[in-house]
Chain A
């Protein structure tokens, strides 16, 4: 059963856009400064989002990564009197609840510089840098991503494990939920790109809050980290061997995890989702839950030209083979993807394939891109579906 995205109704705005109002006025330094002080940038009015830049340039543009849209959107220069710093603007229409990451591109002659929007304080971080964020009308930052004063924090402890399979020492972090007791038994969640989930998706805070709110079961969560990510994650046998025959037995020996496949989950985003899927596929019946976010499930129906570059070669080989003979690799799969990312097509395509294996598949789309904040915002849906909390059992 798919979950329909609960998008708010299309946003409406009555009257003139603020930028058009400004254009009708006699502009000077003071008027522009007051306008900028009075408006959050981008200026969101119904579905219309007006991006602004102030400064001398030969050309200015908004750069975003919404798939199937022009990703380089030139701005117009507002006519200002001589001596006044120019103001550039462009208005883009965005559907309700969209969250779009972007940067400003400024050209001086042949030189082009790209940077975060100096007028917008909202910034999203990732391992490859940061981007400005446009939160369209209807987008709501989830309250469960910020620390709650009454939520008891879990504990994060380092786990270093020499790995024969990977021929390196693996560095993991283990989250033990608040009120952890050795006499209890806990489900186990293993997260790929663990430190990135902690740093860029606030996952430690999210776990504290979801467990406190009884949305998610008390769970032991292992945050794993890759060595050479592009080698270890796309269907790499030693990686799967490490998780299944080294990490899992070590955890079962050291921690009170439930020793059943239905109480285990592999999770990851992008290549991490491929790593989760391929690890489960190599040892069916070990990991019965998968939480896959924006999986890099690139495949070809004809030929081998996938356009993803050499890093995707092993992914495409794995996905093509899987599509030829789909096998049930997990009992339950929670899959999310942003509709603004190129991977939306392969993700949508894989849902019926996974379902055809008899797996219970929950698929959620969002008006977002290939980003950590998108993956963060979907954590509650996924984690509470994979390991539901005892909300139904608690009556205060």
Chain B
């Protein structure tokens, strides 16, 4: 389940044009111009979202150049600051929400670290009985999985409570902002979402209710939720932008200064994709040679697939937002492999 996105509609699946989400690797050496060209979007009018850059949101000269100047920055971070200025009550409530979220994340992480440490120790154990050893590994992995699920649920509840109590969607500043953002996107041919701070980016995307602006909910009996999202125009995203589009945002950084970090679930994303967890710059940020750690990570992502988005990577999802066959993913054994929808991973 994704966070509250008001105004979703059930569209006519057959009549819809075939727009897709394209996820890219990090854009330090940018290829977004080539990608836009190859998608037939050269010269298209593009709505850009750089809210993850926070106060540098409008330092987007390079991006503007790459998009041939025909783009408009939605300025979500700046708009958010204006809302806080105009509506101090909402700002206070949001700050309180963020404080509670931070504490929830800290407490979840304490439990998670212990469970992951236990998993590492159990894996390192020299088994006298392989079956018993395997059961112990599975048990602790289930506990980690359960911790993740509970955390996501509690975070979602907190967000729902915030929206129910403070009703940002009924406040003038927010309504005005949402209307303007919706209008601008409606006038554009495509949307580009850059990386940056994923928490800040998600906060702005939710505040301006971008999910229904970007996509239409389509009935899908094959989907466990009964619907999937179909984007109304091509969406290209990388880094935090790619993570924000997915159902679940997982934070990871094995190369921290003091000790390898434990991957942690942050919250649900916009839910415009199905069955994947985006891992930007995976080969740089993850200790991919530590297969035990990678196995734990892929198990935690399951049933979603762990999708690395490394420099040069480009993944155009299926029309219903899924990973296409043959995409490079992290398999159950922790190594990279090719995705097969049947569940069998290729070589």
A: residues with CB less than 8 A from B are 1, 3, 179, 181, 183, 215, 362, 380-381, 384-385, 388, 390-396
A392 contacts which chain B residues (CB < 8 A)?
251-253, 256, 261, 264
Residue B138 CB within 8 A of the other chain: no
Residues of A within 8 A of B261 (CB): 392
Query: Known interface pairs A393-B198, A393-B199, A393-B251. Does A3 touch B259 (Cβ–Cβ under 8 Å)?
Result: yes
Query: How would residues 26 to 59 of chain B score, 1 for a CB under 8 Å from any chain A CB and 0 otherwise?
Result: 1110000000000000000000000010010000
A89 to chain B, nearest CB (A): 40
Chain A residues, Cβ within 8 Å of B331: none
Residue pair A384, B251 in contact (C-beta under 8 Å): no
Q: Which of B27, B84, B257 contacts A183 (CB 8 A)?
A: B84
Q: Which residues of A contact B52 (CB under 8 A)?
A: 394
User: Min CB distance, A360 to chain B, in Å?
Assistant: 10
CA distance A394 to B240 in the complex (A): 7
Shortest Cβ gap from B224 to chain A (Å): 27
Q: How many residues on B have C-beta within 8 angstroms of the other chain's C-beta atoms? A: 27
CB-CB nearest in chain B for A334: B258
Which residues, 182 to 232 on B, are CB-close (under 8 Å) to A? 195-199
Q: How far is the CA of A391 from the CA of B197 in the complex (A)?
A: 9
Contact check: which of B243, B258, B266 meets A362 at CB < 8 Å? B258
Instruction: Report Cα–Cα, A394/B54, bound state, in Å.
Output: 11
List chain A residues, Cβ under 8 A from B234: none
In the assembled complex, the Cα of A388 lies from the Cα of B261 at a distance in Å of 11
Chain A residues contacting B71 (CB-CB under 8 Å) are none
Closest A-B pairs by Cβ, 5 of them: A395-B239, A384-B257, A395-B240, A395-B280, A396-B195
Q: Find chain B residues with CB under 8 A from A394 CB.
A: 52, 195-198, 240
Question: B281 interface residue, CB < 8 Å from A?
Answer: yes
A215 to B253, CA, bound (A): 11
Write out the residue numbers on chain A whose beta carbons fall within 8 Å of the beta carbon of B240.
394-396
Q: Is the CB of A381 within 8 A of B196?
A: no
A395 CA to B198 CA in the complex, in Å? 7
What is the bound-complex CA distance between A117 and B261, given in angstroms? 43
Residue pair A3, B196 in contact (C-beta under 8 Å): no
| Contact, CB under 8 Å: B252 / A396 | no
Known interface pairs A393-B197, A394-B196, A395-B240. Does A380 touch B251 (Cβ–Cβ under 8 Å)? no
Contact B197 A390 (CB under 8 A): yes
B198 partner residues in chain A, CB cutoff 8 A: 393-395
When distances are taken between beta carbons in the complex, the residues of chain A under 8 Å from B256 are: 384, 388, 391-392
Report A162 CB to chain B, min CB distance, Å: 33
| Interface hits, B137-160 → A, CB 8 Å | none
Q: Which residue of B lies closest to A183 (CB)?
A: B84
Find out whether the CB atom of B258 lies under 8 angstroms from the CB atom of A381: yes
Q: Which residue of A lies closest to B54 (CB)?
A: A179
Given contacts A179-B55, A388-B256, A396-B239, 9 further A-B contacts (CB under 8 A): A362-B258, A385-B258, A392-B251, A393-B199, A394-B196, A395-B239, A395-B242, A396-B26, A396-B28
Residues in B neighbouring A181, C-beta threshold 8 A? 55
Q: How far is the CA of A107 from the CA of B252 in the complex (A)?
A: 60
Residues in A with CB closer than 8 Å to B199 are: 393
**Complex Cα distance A390/B256, Å?**
11
6 sampled A-B residue pairs with Cβ under 8 A: A395-B198, A395-B242, A396-B27, A396-B196, A396-B240, A396-B280
Task: Please give the distance in Å from B77's CB to the nearest CB on chain A.
Answer: 12
- Closest-by-CB residue of B relative to A383 is B257
Residue pair A3, B258 in contact (C-beta under 8 Å): yes
Say how far A289's CB is from chain B's closest CB, in angstroms: 14
Which residue of the partner chain B has the closest CB to A1?
Answer: B259
Q: Which of B234-290 contact A (CB under 8 A)?
A: 239-240, 242-243, 251-253, 256-259, 261, 264, 266, 280-281
